Structures are given as C-alpha cells and as structure tokens.
Amino acid sequence: MGFGFLYETPGFTTNNKDIPDKLSWPESWNLLILRHRSDHEESGDERGTRLSRHMSESSIAETEDDDDHVDRNIDLGPQFTLKEQLEKDKDDESLRRWKEQLLGSVDINSVGETLEPEVKFLSLAIKSAGRDDIILPVPETGNPNGLWFTLKEGSRYSLAFTFQVNHNIVSGLKYTNTVWKTGIKVDSTKEMIGTFSPQAEPYTHEMPEEITPSGLFARGAYSAKTKFVDDDKKSYLDISYTFDIRKEWL
C-alpha cells in the first residue's frame, strides 16, 4: 500500500517512477485558492482583496526529501470563511464570476460560517484487476487492530478512497505513507491529491497503480503509517497498521 516504487527480485533495488500530480481543479487554478494575502491589505492595494493565497511549495511539486523534520515555514496568510470570501470583491464582476465558477454548486447557506475545513474519509479500498476490491474499514479513532490486509507478491494494485469535504475549501490535500520491514524503513511516499471545495457529493480518488515486491526477502510482515494532511499541516487521517506480502492472496 503506497510503496511508490517497484522492487526487483530478490532484493530491494528500486526503480523510481514519475507520478503526475492529480489536482481536482483545472491547471490554471492550481496555484490559487480562496485566501487573501495579508500584505495586500496592509499596503492598501485596491486589488488587495484578490484571491491570491499561494499553495505551499510541497503542494506544487513532490519532493525527494521525505524527512518529516523539514519545515518549509511558508506563510499561507489568514483564512476566511466561504461567505467572507464571496463578500469580498463583490463589486469586481470578473472576480465574482471566477469565484462562482470555482465553487461550482456549493450551497453557501449550508456551509455556514465555519472557518476550518472538514475532511472525512468514507472508504478505503485496495483494487487489483480480476479480484474483488479489498475493503479496508476506516477506523474512527485509533488504529486498525491486528493485520489490516494481505497482498500477493508481484501483483498490480492501487489504493482508492472516497472522502467528504465540508465547511470550507481544503487546500493542498496530500497523502503520505511510510513503510518499514523488520524495523528498517523501506519506502516513503508522498503524493499531492489536490485542492477541494465543500460539496454534498463525496470525492473519489485512485492512486497510480503499483506492483508489490516479490521474492524471498520481500515476503513477510510490514508496518506502515499513512497520513492525509493539507497545506496548513492539519491532519485528517493518521493511522498506523500492519500488512503482509505473501506468495498468494488470502
């Protein structure tokens, strides 16, 4: 789950693969989200209420440095509720139309005045061609108990999940996954999922297909930690679990 590279048998030689970002908005919107930059307002810029919050560096491109202690210290500026965002620039026709197009069918009256976005994961599944999906129960609190799932060595698979966004826009939702075998870190994966506005219908996202390692040294028990965080470092799902790679599916 989330290896992010291919193992060669029987050892652990890796071959990195390029994974393109999959953002939920058109490319022209990827660097803009609904937050005002405070320096515009301080300077008295007449266009200071533009929607010009930039995604953090980690949102724009994946990084080869997967050390958790790296802090980019990117100032994303203050947050505003959706209602506040729509009230600003209301006399600017072009910005008003842009906001309406960006937010789509969002019912502003239903999202209320809540500042913080809410992301709730509804389902997680491992997909492999020719087999029924492995449905993984999403723990409401804590971590899964015992072995969470088993994969067959040398098999193709992908992780799919659905999630609901409420209250406000979630900026730069990112998936991170770290895997250990016998206490040694064998992989760390990061992938940008995208930026999403609140809506009644859940979003569905499927990760790029991967291949499980194979061979004597690849089989056995693994431990892993999966997180979904946004540009503001807010975590929406943080779970630790164990899984096996075996000769055959269970």
pLDDT, tens only, 183-208:
999 999 999 999 998 888 999 999 99
Q: Determine the Cα angle at 68 with ends 61 and 36, to 5°.
A: 50
Residue 44 pLDDT more than 90?
no
- Please check whether residue 54 is in contact with residue 31, taking contact to mean a CB–CB distance below 8 angstroms: yes
Q: Which domains does the chain have, with CATH numbers?
A: 5-22+116-246 (2.70.50.30), 27-111 (no CATH)
3-state secondary structure of 58: helix
Distance (Å, rounded) from C-alpha 159 to C-alpha 178?
Answer: 15
DSSP 219: -
The tokens of 35 are what? Answer: 């937050």
Rg (CA), the chain: 20
Distance (Å, rounded) from C-alpha 147 to C-alpha 160?
Answer: 19
DSSP 108: H
Residue 85 pLDDT more than 70?
no
Q: Compute the average pLDDT of residues 147-159.
A: 97
Distance (Å, rounded) from C-alpha 194 to C-alpha 212?
Answer: 26
User: What is the pairing mode between strands 147-152 and 235-246?
Assistant: parallel
pLDDT at 123: 94
pLDDT digits (tens, 9 = 90+) for 89-134: 667 778 777 766 766 666 666 655 677 889 999 999 999 999 999 9
pLDDT at 93: 77
Distance (Å, rounded) from C-alpha 192 to C-alpha 174?
Answer: 5
Distance (Å, rounded) from C-alpha 106 to C-alpha 23?
Answer: 18
DSSP 131: S
